[in-house]
């Protein structure tokens, strides 16, 4: 695909300086860009790279108007602009419209006439696939499952029965939506399964990474609100609510009935206890363990730096004795205060 700088500005806005007819076929980093590619600078410390780049054009912040003689687009947010240009030039391949002969689609399923159903797909009774959506090879939609318009389900996605995905969602390969929540009742030394009768409801403009799993609710629904972005290998347990536009990095685990606020950011490998609430706008650092509710937005971190094993063992022993050490220090401080008072009272 090729597009001119003038066409980019007409589509995405910004101020064009220089040759509007310059053809752009791809985005690239400044140090590897060629004459038919466009790069970007979002921070002033990288402006020096403009002197040696071979890019045909660049995207710059508005205050860098005179940083280069190259054709350039000025915008308040160069990184976002670059992302949009990349999205335009790198649209995912789309299979032919229609249902592949090897797909198995229930007679009463409702498939939009312009949807794409790839090879090996299985779609259950009463399921719905919206306009222009793509269901990748070997994916499975259970009975009464619903996929909105303009969605992309990559190969081998599983959407269990009665679960719903809104419009413009992207589900990557291997993700599982609607598996049973982890619920068992003890019974005379054994475990008896508790039926998980809720659903998973996924909002609009959500992206779910590869091999991420979201459990259906035990009674009520598990809810992923609009604009949420989930990385790979995340587990979300039953009855969790994740607020709109929250972003969660890979390998995070969220236990049952936790409620995550809107516009939160959660770093990789964080662990969230169940039945707690996290305020809107909260930031949780990577590897952090959250054991209780966070009613006030802020940045929370609990990770410890690594060390050599023998050093770690010694420190672990000290940590087990912290309470005793604190008590001894308080006793010593009390005794020191008594001695100081005695000294001051003597003539």
Alpha-carbon gap, residue 306 to 311, rounded angstroms: 10
Q: Is 230 exposed, middle or buried (0-12, 13-18, 19+ CB in 10 A)?
A: buried
Alpha-carbon gap, residue 280 to 259, rounded angstroms: 10
Contact (CB, 8 A) for 4 and 88: no
Alpha-carbon gap, residue 82 to 85, rounded angstroms: 5
Place of tokens 């996605």: 157
Looking from the CA of 78 toward its CB, the CA atoms found within 13 Å total 23
DSSP states of 224-263: E-TT-EE-SS-EE-TT-EE-TT-EE-TT-EE-TT-EE-TT
Place of tokens 């391949």: 93
Q: Could you list the active site residues?
A: 238
């Amino acid at each position: 695909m090729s597009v001119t700088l003038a066409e980019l500005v007409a589509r995405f806005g910004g101020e064009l300086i220089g040759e509007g007819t310059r053809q752009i076929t791809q985005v690239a980093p400044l140090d590897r860009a060629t004459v038919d590619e466009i790069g970007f600078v979002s921070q002033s410390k990288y402006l020096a790279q403009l002197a040696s780049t071979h890019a045909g054009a660049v995207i710059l912040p508005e205050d860098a108007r005179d940083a280069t003689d190259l054709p350039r687009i000025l915008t308040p947010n160069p990184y976002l602009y670059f992302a949009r240009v990349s999205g335009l030039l790198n649209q995912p391949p789309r299979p032919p419209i229609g249902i592949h002969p090897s797909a198995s689609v229930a007679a009463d399923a409702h498939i939009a006439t312009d949807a794409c159903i790839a090879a090996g797909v299985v779609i259950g009774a009463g399921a719905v696939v919206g306009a222009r959506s793509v269901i990748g090879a070997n994916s499975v939609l259970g009975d009464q499952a619903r996929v909105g318009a303009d969605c992309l389900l990559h190969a081998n996605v599983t959407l269990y029965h009665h679960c719903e995905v809104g419009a413009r969602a992207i589900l990557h390969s291997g993700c599982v939506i609607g598996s049973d929540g982890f619920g068992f009742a003890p019974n005379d030394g054994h475990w008896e399964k508790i039926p998980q009768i809720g659903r998973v409801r996924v909002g609009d403009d959500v992206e779910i990474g590869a091999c991420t799993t979201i459990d259906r609710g035990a009674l009520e629904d598990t809810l992923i609100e609009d604009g949420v972005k989930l990385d790979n290998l995340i587990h979300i347990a039953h009855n969790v609510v994740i607020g709109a536009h929250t972003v969660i990095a890979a390998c995070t685990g969220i236990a049952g009935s936790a409620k995550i606020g809107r516009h939160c950011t959660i770093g990789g490998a964080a662990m969230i206890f169940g039945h707690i609430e996290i305020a809107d706008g909260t930031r949780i650092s990577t590897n952090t363990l959250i054991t209780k509710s966070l009613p006030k937005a802020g940045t929370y971190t609990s990770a410890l730096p690594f060390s050599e094993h023998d050093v770690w063992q010694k420190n672990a022993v000290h940590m087990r004795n912290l309470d005793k050490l604190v008590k001894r220090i308080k006793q010593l401080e009390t005794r020191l205060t008594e001695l100081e008072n005695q000294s001051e009272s003597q003539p």
